[in-house]
Structure 1
């Protein structure tokens, strides 16, 4: 299994194909597997990399090692540097958008474009969101008293009623052999409460950005059934003064790349064709 040392942890990654490089960053509590449909579909045209950041998946080290979004961006830079990748397009889901945004700020000349897939560039943009995130430790303690199942039902209710998020289509994702919700549950079993707490602390301490802050092309793709904060941001970005392309993926929820993988992948492929048309071919992929 391929690993790269990033700081004091061993970061797990998958690296396939040849061509212009694309690096995929998963969401909170998920892992590199969330990008399987895109890796499979794009590896004949692009050099694709997916990895597990600290506190997730196969990457070593405890959740306590997560200290800041800047640190997570630094880990990504160490991975990219070790693999000899130059100016990748970053494709980030959910929480991974914070990492992609900070990477582009720290290394502005090392990015060719950014895909925000139902992704954040800031956390706590609304009062409701800030309250929800601050109450997470309370929900964790309540689970010990009344049971996880009951607390999960409350959180699902709040996500739908307060955040406006709906479930996506429950179809099996062939590359995973399970549905989006089954995958999320499976990935979540390896995601500790410690990692959740430290990642959320890092996100809440992060100043945040806007997709309009970058000098490279940006694709902001979001699910039709996603939460209100992301959908509202999309409406604002439609009038962006910079090269920000907004695409709604009909029928998809927050797991946009798994809910409607064919539609999402084709949207990304069109964006990559524009962004990488004049880009030199990157280094060949390593085994893995």
Structure 2
């Protein structure tokens, strides 16, 4: 584990491998440990960097009033501090929304986008009644006493999580900070990045679980229709966390995409 300091924040990250840079952006109620199978599986060809976003894992707590722009700016600071840009940037779920905001604010740092079971914000990708239901569920979760706080969202896997991942998932969940999760879910409920999608000028890989109940394939279709240069890979039998449920298939798709679109190549 390594660290950078930026804007009064301490940002933790893990780096593995050598080659073109791939930056991994985790989802809400997670930290960089959820990318272990990608760090191990892609490091032979790529420099793989997985951060703990502000407010998660081993990084600093969130400053007051921290918004989506703050996450994107912190991610940009990491890319610049490690001299990674332009990099492949992959985000899962909430992390994909952060990656989109990074592209909106600092497109020169992004060689390609890899969107895994993600959203253009909840407001941008889901029906209004679904957003309201998720906000209500989040409020109930966050109101629970700390001893009963469970940040595990329904529908993350197509079935039960793979048994070998249960200890990892339990450890990550135990470290979730309620204040961070409350801030993230509030941001997601109000974010609509649909206007950005047609203006994305870098190749974009869409990786989606066929059984994703949280960001269904219809959302992937919205991305595919709106972004000019997209490749959609559907992971059969996977839910919302396809990179954990079927890591070999996801790694193969990411590896092939990164080979096809090396940073610095003319598109």
Q: Which range, TM-score by smaller chain?
A: 0.7 to 0.9
- Provide the rounded CA distance (Å) in 1 between the counterparts of 2:246 and 2:73: 31
Instruction: Give yes or no for the alignment of 1:134 onto 2:135.
Output: yes
- Provide the rounded CA distance (Å) in 2 between the counterparts of 1:12 and 1:186: 17
Instruction: State which of 165, 168, 175 in structure 2 corresponds to 1:190.
Output: 175
Q: CA deviation at 1:184?
A: 2.9
Greater mean deviation of Cα atoms: 101-110 or 269-278: 269-278
Instruction: State which of 232, 241, 245 in structure 2 corresponds to 1:259.
Output: 245
Q: Determine the structure 2 residue equivalent to 1:284.
A: none
Q: For the Cα contact (< 8 Å) 1:168–1:259, is it kept in 2? A: no
Unaligned runs of 5+ in 2: none
- Provide the rounded CA distance (Å) in 1 between the counterparts of 2:119 and 2:175: 22
Describe the shift of the 1:261–1:104 C-alpha distance in structure 2 as closer, same or farther (beyond 3 A).
Answer: same
- Provide the rounded CA distance (Å) in 2 between the counterparts of 1:237 and 1:98: 12
Q: CA deviation at 1:58?
A: 0.9
Counterparts in 2 of 1:163-242, with a 5 A limit? 167-168=158-159, 170-172=161-163, 178-179=164-165, 181-209=166-194, 211-227=197-213, 229-240=215-226, 242=228
CA deviations 1:103-130 (Å, max 9, x no partner) are: 0011122211000111122213312332
Question: Aligned-pair RMSD on alpha carbons?
Answer: 2.7
Q: Which has the larger radius of gyration?
A: 1
Equivalences, count: 262
Counterparts in 2 of 1:60-75, with a 5 A limit? 60=60, 62-63=61-62, 65=64, 67-75=66-74
Q: Determine the structure 1 residue equivalent to 2:34.
A: 34
- Provide the rounded CA distance (Å) in 1 between the counterparts of 2:97 and 2:106: 14
TM-score (norm 2): 0.87
The 3-state SS of whatever aligns with 2:202 is coil
Q: For the Cα contact (< 8 Å) 1:64–1:198, is it kept in 2? A: no
Give the ranges of 4+ consecutive aligned residues of structure 1 lying more than 6 Å apart after TM superposition: none
Q: CA deviation at 1:239?
A: 4.2
Q: Determine the structure 2 residue equivalent to 1:286.
A: none
TM-score (norm 1): 0.81
Q: CA deviation at 1:64?
A: 5.1
